[in-house]
Amino acid sequence: MKIRNICCIGAGYVGGPTMSVLAQKNPHIKVTVVDINKDKIAEWNSEDLDNLPIYEPGLKEIVQEARGRNLFFSTDIDKAIDEAEMIFMSVNTPTKTYGKGKGMAADLKYVELSARQIARASTSNKIIVEKSTLPVRTAQAIKNILDNTGNGVKFQVLSNPEFLAEGTSIQDL
Ligand SMILES: NC(=O)c1ccc[n+]([C@@H]2O[C@H](COP(=O)([O-])OP(=O)(O)OC[C@H]3O[C@@H](n4cnc5c(N)ncnc54)[C@H](O)[C@@H]3O)[C@@H](O)[C@H]2O)c1
């Protein structure tokens, strides 16, 4: 499968900088970063680059170069999912505040919700990349969600753990 179109679900600390660098280095690939938070997407799209939702040294220059060329920020999640051959899941995984593992384990509800949305919105085969920090075997849980929709689309799930550090993310990427 030739990758021409990438989507990233989650325009936060990981998704925003990672996809900006990926788009800058790969001008032939369209990269669309989506989020349910409309204000955050508006900030990523703001004319004044000092209003980006995240400050990282070097980030605004990269956004200036790639945004509108092959880097896009959008709230149209279903469209970006369906157009992409590869989807990064970079949603937040806060510590659980309830039930088993309370105060320690990662709450996977946002990961599960976006897996359901990918399953619902996809009409072609896709590679899904776990970019959130997730417990071992979550890829299998994501695959179970994706495979049980019955719409015949095939998914492969890869794990690509993120080690970026806030403050040096552009240099590290
Ligand atoms: N921030 C770091 O330095 C860092 C480093 C390594 C790993 N991580 C891990 O990377 C993952 C993402 O972290 P982050 O810091 O980018 O989080 P973040 O809170 O900055 O961003 C996550 C974004 O995902 C969006 N989101 C949640 N559910 C969604 C959905 N269903 N559809 C669309 N958007 C949705 C949220 O609105 C939010 O903007 C976490 O698992 C975190 O533990 C973070």
- The pLDDT tens digits for 57-115 are 999 999 999 999 999 999 999 999 999 999 999 999 999 999 988 998 888 999 999 99
Residue nearest to atom 39 of ligand 1 (CA): 12
Write the CATH number for 154.
Answer: 3.40.50.720
User: What distance in angstroms lies between residue 130's CA and the mean position of ligand 1's atoms?
Assistant: 11
Task: Please check whether residue 88 is in contact with residue 11, taking contact to mean a CB–CB distance below 8 angstroms.
Answer: no
Look at ligand 1, atom 33, and give the residue with the nearest C-alpha. 35
Task: Say what angle helices 138-147 and 109-121 make with each other, to 10 degrees.
Answer: 30
> Which of 7, 13, 39 for a ligand 1 pocket mutation test, highest count of atoms within 8 Å of Cβ?
13
For the full predicted model, state whether its pTM sits above 0.85. Answer: yes
pLDDT bucket at 48, cuts 50 / 70 / 90 = very high
Domain range for 112 is 5-172
Q: Whose CA is nearest to atom 19 of ligand 1?
A: 92
Strand order in the sheet with 71-74: 71-74, 30-34, 5-9, 86-89, 126-130, 155-159
Report the separation in Å between the CA atom of 149 and the middle of ligand 1, taken as the mean of its atom positions. Answer: 25
Based on the structure, what is the number of domains in the chain? 1
